[in-house]
Copies of this chain bind each other. A is one copy, B any other.
Amino acid sequence: MDQMDRSVACSPPLSRVVVSGGTHGNELAGVCLVKEWLRGDSAPCLERSSFTAQPLLANPRATEQGVRYVNTDLNRCFKTHTLSAPPSPSDPYELVRARELDSLLGPKGSDEAVDFICDLHNTTANMGASLILYSLSDYFCLHMLHHLQTHMQSAPVYCVVFEEPPSAAYSLDTIGKRGLALEVGPLPHGLVRADVLSQMSEGVKLILDFIDLFNRGTLFPPCQVEVYRKLEGLDFPRELQSGELSGTVHPERQDRDFRVLNPGDPLFLRFDGETVRFKGERPVYPFFINEAAYYEKKLALWTAERVSVSVPALRVRG
């Protein structure tokens, strides 16, 4: 927050707001929403009294091909040092595109950057509607979370926090002054379900409603929110020699994102039938459980601790 005044966090109004999809080209709920918004002359659902959000298709080539990415994961290209590295003719497509997006919506960390980016994602994990933030003291987004948790009808709302300084935060939404990723799942990659599309639409509506309420001077009273702070990634069981999968998520853990995992609980089931139990020393809360795109990243799930955050009151700086 820019200013703390009598325990009220204040910050300037937001006028340049972007809702992007297709950062991963096979996450089709975001792709379909953005394309639908881009088709018409106007998209009334992006209009509010204090601003109109701009839709953006982030990775057009990957979207065209129906793949997550063409050369490299676009949503890992937005660290400050990645963006500022000297361009080379051999740069992968997504790095070139990341620089384009940084020129368009950033530059990251500058006064010229757009005020807010909501980047739409889908996951094969059972994560409902999850906001992904980089800081436990991002009070603006934590009030937004509280707004969604209070009003969202179609899906449970969670928040995960990957604590990183802005320069090291690697995702598209970090080139705006503020931003977040909205993950909705479970959705298989490469297809769109009407129910998930509807959940994502409702999430976007509530995010834009919140920004509008904020711009128009609403005082958001102090609140307490629960977030999931990332601890570590755990890989699937693998063959020692080949590195190939030798098991998958245990049926008692599959789809149980954000439910407590205690030491000794079943975690993986090896293909030979053996149960692998969680060896941690304390209870954790897994998320991104069995996300298809993370197989190549050698990641079966992230663990998190559940943290309750006291958020001061918030209003626009008048």
Write the residues of chain A forming the contact surface with B, with a CB cutoff of 8 angstroms.
32-33, 35-36, 39, 66, 124, 186, 188-195, 197-198, 239, 244-246, 248-251, 254, 269, 271-272, 290-293, 295-296
Residues of chain B within 8 A of A293, CB atoms compared: 190
Q: How far is the CA of A254 from the CA of B194 in the complex (A)?
A: 8
Q: How far is the CA of A190 from the CA of B122 in the complex (A)?
A: 14
Query: Which B-chain residue is minimally distant from A293 (CB atoms)?
Result: B190
Using A39-B239, A197-B271, A271-B32 as known contacts, say yes or no to A248 and B295 having CB atoms under 8 A apart: no
Q: How far is the CA of A245 from the CA of B248 in the complex (A)?
A: 33
Residues of chain B within 8 A of A195, CB atoms compared: 251, 254
Residues of chain B within 8 A of A296, CB atoms compared: 66
B250 x A194 contact (CB < 8 A): yes
The one of B33, B193, B269, B292 in contact with A190, judged by C-beta atoms closer than 8 angstroms, is B292
- Chain A interface mostly helix, strand, loop or mixed? loop
Query: Which B-chain residue is minimally distant from A290 (CB atoms)?
Result: B191
Query: Which B-chain residue is minimally distant from A29 (CB atoms)?
Result: B248
Please give the distance in Å from A295's CB to the nearest CB on chain B.
Answer: 7
A192 x B248 contact (CB < 8 A): yes
Residues of chain B within 8 A of A35, CB atoms compared: 244-245
Query: Which B-chain residue is minimally distant from A68 (CB atoms)?
Result: B190
B191 x A295 contact (CB < 8 A): yes
A194 x B251 contact (CB < 8 A): yes
A188 x B124 contact (CB < 8 A): yes
Between-chain CB contacts (< 8 Å), 9 pairs: A32-B271, A35-B245, A36-B272, A66-B296, A190-B292, A192-B248, A194-B251, A194-B269, A197-B248
B189 x A32 contact (CB < 8 A): no
Residues of chain B within 8 A of A291, CB atoms compared: 191
A32 x B193 contact (CB < 8 A): no
Residues of chain B within 8 A of A198, CB atoms compared: 251
B254 x A189 contact (CB < 8 A): no
B194 x A249 contact (CB < 8 A): yes
Q: How far is the CA of A117 from the CA of B189 in the complex (A)?
A: 29
Query: Which B-chain residue is minimally distant from A252 (CB atoms)?
Result: B194
Q: How far is the CA of A292 from the CA of B272 in the complex (A)?
A: 29
